[in-house]
Amino acid sequence: MASGSYYNVLIVTFVALGSFTYGFNSAIMGVVIGLPEFFRYFNISLDNNEGNSITGATNGLYCGGGVFGCIFVPFFLKKYGRKRTIQLGALVAIISAALQSGSVHIAMFLLARFLNGISVGMLNTSIPIFQSEVSLAHERGRMVGTHGVLVVSGYSAAGFVGYGTYFADQKVGWRLCLAIQIVAPLLLCLGSPWLPESPRWLVDKDRSRDGYEVLRKLHHKDDDPEDHAAKEELYQIVQQIYLERSEGAPNSWLTMFQKKSYRKRLFLGFITQFIAQSTGVLVINNYQVLLYKNLGITGSLPLALNGVYNGVAAFMNWINALILDRVGRIRIMLIGLTGCALALSCFTAMVATFGGTENRTGNAFGVFFLFLFVFFYGGSMDATSYVYCSEIFPTSVRAQGNGFSVAGLFSATLIYTQVAPTAFAEIGWRYYLVFIITPLIGAIVMWKFFPETTRLSLEEIAGLFGDDVALDLTHLSPEDKAVLDKNLDEMIADATSQSPNGLSGALILKDNAHRNPDVVHHIAKSESQV
């Protein structure tokens, strides 16, 4: 398999600074609540339900903000484009992080945490969409997988920041942890003017000429001097978008729920993210320092283990991204859900038997099974869930669809983390049973109802849901593909010489033999009118 161009890899990796922002900001509170000075500063007692309530509110407002960001970000993605929306999300992340680190009252902190949730909801929705839309079909798993890798790298960085601040001045340690949230989104903002816009968004806005230039730059390789990959992809995008327009395909929240194939996509996307979080991954991550203390591990060691734990997760996400286009999305998620449930079962048994005791062997096995859990989750669920949800929706509603899907992530996290402090206090290890049973049910649902999308282009995936596909490049014979390439060379050359703004109109082939010969394609609006 040919690798993506260096420019393409650079773009998807750089934009994943927003992914890092989500991971770091999500994990840092797990570190902060492990620093006693945070509670002392706000005069919060840990000896009664007040501490549990504040901890739950902090995580709950963050997740609630995430849901809010996911639901409203599609408006910006569709109207202003992927690039500007990512810039906006990064800006909100910077402002909210500054407010958190400078908080002088718990109410101010909670409001800032809610705003921070909005920002990461925007970024966590926008970035996989952008990455999927600039990637070739056979590389999309690896490319979008960088989102998962950087998300968990953010978790790991938060753990090591917490470990470092443990030895710093306790009065400023928690503020320093929160202030570091500014770094990644600031770098993203500074470098974002050089990001290209999504070619699919450009074509959807009848700017095919601009879309083609972006595709050429993204996918140019020495072994493809004529840029046939870019031309084929552009042609497929143009044909599919017009086909969907001509058939009156949904393009809004309301119409998405009115068509069966789109409702199915919404269900699959939401369930994918909800089930992924139902493994208990963020509950474990957010309360990991406290979990280690419950196992009898004290001092700075819980913070160090937190960093190592997430370092393992980041490495496994990288492995996940590398194998995703070979193994397949559904198969690898089935392995992951089953493995997570089994590992957490063993961890729960260790906590139930040895938690709070000085049995070093039992506690060591507890830590081992926690690391085994993240081995399965990082190696199968993290990157894969984002890839799958970003690719199953058509271009016209990808923003709404992925936003709705990621809202499933924040909804699950909101539910599970909000009740976690009270649940741990009241029923202890029994709370983990939820995260053992639910993923196993989810695995059965996924095996039964979820279609495999590996190595299909974003446009070809429509066929898996019963919708028409304008051009199936993946299954085109070499002879037909050669004819198509020749025709595209001539059409694009003629269009460029005659009218720089009329490229989409030139990409109309009557009697398109690559789909159905009786279908006549044309573009709803000429770019010259834009």
What are the tens digits of pLDDT across the range 337-386?
Answer: 999 999 999 989 988 888 767 777 887 888 889 899 999 999 999 899 99
Number of domains in the chain: 2
Residue 227 CA to residue 134 CA, distance in Å, equals 15
Residue 291 CA to residue 29 CA, distance in Å, equals 14
The pLDDT tens digits for 205-226 are 988 889 999 999 998 888 888 8
496, HSE (Cβ side, Cα atoms, 13 Å): 10
Evaluate whether residue 469 is within a structural domain: no
Instruction: Name the pLDDT band for 429 (thresholds 50, 70, 90).
Output: confident
Which pLDDT belongs to residue 44?
Answer: 81
* For residue 501, pLDDT beyond 60: no
**Domain final residue pick, 437, 462, 487:** 462
Evaluate whether residue 1 is within a structural domain: no
Evaluate whether residue 470 is within a structural domain: no
Evaluate whether residue 85 is within a structural domain: yes
Residue 219 CA to residue 217 CA, distance in Å, equals 6
Evaluate whether residue 503 is within a structural domain: yes
Which pLDDT belongs to residue 247?
Answer: 82
More confident residue, 212 or 90: 90
For residue 141, give every residue at least 6 positions away whose Cβ sits within 8 Å of its Cβ, in sequence order, or none.
321, 324, 325, 329, 383, 384, 387, 454
Q: Residues 301-330: what's their mean pLDDT?
A: 88
| CA-to-CA separations, 267 to 246, 262, 350, 449, in angstroms, rounded | 25, 9, 36, 10
What three-state secondary structure class fits 279? coil
Lowest mean pLDDT among 27-31, 101-105, 106-110, 396-400: 27-31
Same domain membership, residue 326 and residue 284: yes
* For residue 320, pLDDT beyond 60: yes
Amino acid at the residue 114 = F
Same domain membership, residue 206 and residue 189: no
Same domain membership, residue 210 and residue 191: no
Q: Residues 442-471: what's their mean pLDDT?
A: 93
Residue 94 CA to residue 522 CA, distance in Å, equals 44
SS (H, E, C) 285-341: HHCHHHHHHHCCCCCCHHHHHHHHHHHHHHHHHHHHHHHHHHHCHHHHHHHHHHHHH
Task: Please give the residue range of the domain that contains residue 498.
Answer: 201-249+476-529
**Domain final residue pick, 431, 462, 493:** 462
Lowest mean pLDDT among 145-154, 164-173, 227-236, 292-301: 292-301
Which pLDDT belongs to residue 309?
Answer: 85
Evaluate whether residue 328 is within a structural domain: yes
Residue 331 CA to residue 449 CA, distance in Å, equals 13
Residue 9 CA to residue 12 CA, distance in Å, equals 5
- Class of residue 248 by CB neighbours under 10 A (exposed 0-12, middle 13-18, buried 19+): exposed
Same domain membership, residue 166 and residue 233: no
Same domain membership, residue 208 and residue 186: no
- Here the CATH number for the domain that contains residue 276 is 1.20.1250.20
Q: Residues 287, 30: contact at Cβ < 8 Å? A: yes
Same domain membership, residue 401 and residue 354: yes
* For residue 43, pLDDT beyond 90: no
Q: pTM here?
A: 0.87
The pLDDT tens digits for 259-274 are 999 999 999 999 999 9
Helices 398-426, 49-80: crossing angle, 10 deg rounding: 180
Q: In which residue are the tokens 């009270």 written?
A: 422
Q: In which residue are the tokens 């000896």 written?
A: 47
Same domain membership, residue 312 and residue 228: no
For residue 248, give every residue at least 6 positions away whose Cβ sits within 8 Å of its Cβ, in sequence order, or none.
none
Same domain membership, residue 229 and residue 267: no
More confident residue, 521 or 515: 515
Same domain membership, residue 103 and residue 145: yes
Q: What is the DSSP string of 18-45?
A: HHHHHHHHHHHHHHHTT-HHHHHHTT--
Evaluate whether residue 471 is within a structural domain: no
Which pLDDT belongs to residue 507?
Answer: 57
Evaluate whether residue 286 is within a structural domain: yes
Q: Residues 41-62: what's their mean pLDDT?
A: 77
Same domain membership, residue 505 and residue 360: no
Share of residues in the chain with pLDDT > 70 (%): 88
Same domain membership, residue 490 and residue 418: no
Which pLDDT belongs to residue 513?
Answer: 39
Instruction: Name the pLDDT band for 46 (thresholds 50, 70, 90).
Output: low
* For residue 137, pLDDT beyond 70: yes
Q: What is the DSSP string of 183-214?
A: HHHHHHHHHGGGSPPPHHHHHHTT-HHHHHHH
Which pLDDT belongs to residue 493?
Answer: 65
* For residue 136, pLDDT beyond 80: yes
Amino acid at the residue 471 = L
Residue 260 CA to residue 187 CA, distance in Å, equals 42
Q: Residues 273-288: what's their mean pLDDT?
A: 84
Q: Residues 338, 447: contact at Cβ < 8 Å? A: no
